[in-house]
Amino acid sequence: SGTPSLEPRTSNLEPQAPNIEPLSSNLEARTANLNRLWVKLLAAFMLVALVAVGVVALLANRATTQQFRLYVSQGRQMRAERLAPEFAAYYALNGSWDGAAEWTAALSQLQAGGRGQGQGLGRARLSDSDRLLLAGANGQILADTQGNLVGQQLSSADLAAGVPIEVAGQRVGTLFIPAAEGVYESLEAEFLGRVNDWLLLAGLAASVAALVLGLLLARQLTAPLRSLTAAARQLASSPLSQYSQEDVPQVPVRSQDEVGELSQAFNQMAISLAQQEGLRRNLMADIAHELRNPLSVMRGDLEALLDGVYQPTPEALASLHEETLLLTRLVDDLRALAQAEAGQLQLVRQPTDIVQLLRGVRASFEVQAESKVQTLNLELPSEPSTVDVDPQRVRQVVANLISNALR
């Protein structure tokens, strides 16, 4: 009367083994795709492109750094050369370097403050970061816009890097504009950063172009191989008996390179297989026809003997014996043919009189030729002719030719 049932219910939450077959099949499919030739070619193209872009970027970075440093150094040298005449005029006016430190500082501020004028001479004017050093004739620093090198003695190598100041043909001092390391490094870093950004963009563009072109080229290179694979599978999946020499699977030859030669070789192979299959069918038909005749004769004669139509006379038994010999000869011919195709046909060569051999073959067919009202004519030289051959095989060949001619 409405009491709830407390019996346990069966649950469908029992753990089940995961289905691994789809995962394994997907993994095999992905592995097969990665092992394809066009994927390997594409990977090779991308690797070559990345290596080439990396090498070009590295060389461009180094060349840009060197040229940038050379450009900055030449700019400082040019600005020092433009200022050297003013220092020479100061020395000529005063007759010495007295007060040169204050005058140098004022000149530096004046040049830096007027750098907006004369934009065409921008490389020759001073910037806020330029530092002026003035050394006397003895190499001692007399003026420094930063003031911390005054009084120091410069070596002859250091003096050779500066711009000489000459008055009346005599060197009275040397002017320097050294690199401002902090500012220079920041400018260099900013400039090279922009160059590297552009190199990165160029590398990415080159990589994308290499990827697209590599994909197209890889697909184009492997297209003949895919056609070759499809034709080979079609040839292997169907019996050769259904193909003739005209409709045998062929591969289009699109080039004259190694792939084109491979396609031509496959086409020739397919045609040759079709020809060999046709010859094999014809051979089987010929064998069946050749064996049917003596077997039919023997069967008819034996049935006639069993039914009492013929008596087992020597003539009837001789006819059966002749058909048996014919059948044996056909079987021996088939065996010799099989040995010849397998490369196992042995030839026993020996000096043989070919004239005598042909006379013997003709004599063995005289009775058969007379029974069919046919004539065998043998034209031979009068003198013996000895050759190095296998007499049994030559006799067999000539006998086959004569027997076919008589039939």
167-203 tens-digit pLDDT = 888 888 888 877 765 545 566 677 777 887 887 888 7
**Host H or E run for residue 142:** strand 141-144
Residue 212: predicted pLDDT: 83
Residues 6+ apart with CB under 8 A from 280: none
Residue 387: predicted pLDDT: 93
Residue 275: predicted pLDDT: 80
**Model's pTM, two decimal places?**
0.41
Residues 330-335 have a mean pLDDT of 81
What is the residue-averaged pLDDT of the chain? 77
Q: Is pLDDT of 351 > 90?
A: yes
Confidence of residue 214 (pLDDT cuts 50, 70, 90): confident
Alpha helices in 95-161 (DSSP H): 100-113, 156-160
As a whole number of angstroms, the distance between CA 172 and CA 390 comes to 116
375-386 tens-digit pLDDT = 889 998 878 789
Residue 390: predicted pLDDT: 92
C-alpha of 406 from chain center: 62
Q: What is the CA radius of gyration of the chain?
A: 53
Confidence of residue 78 (pLDDT cuts 50, 70, 90): confident
As a whole number of angstroms, the distance between CA 180 and CA 112 comes to 15
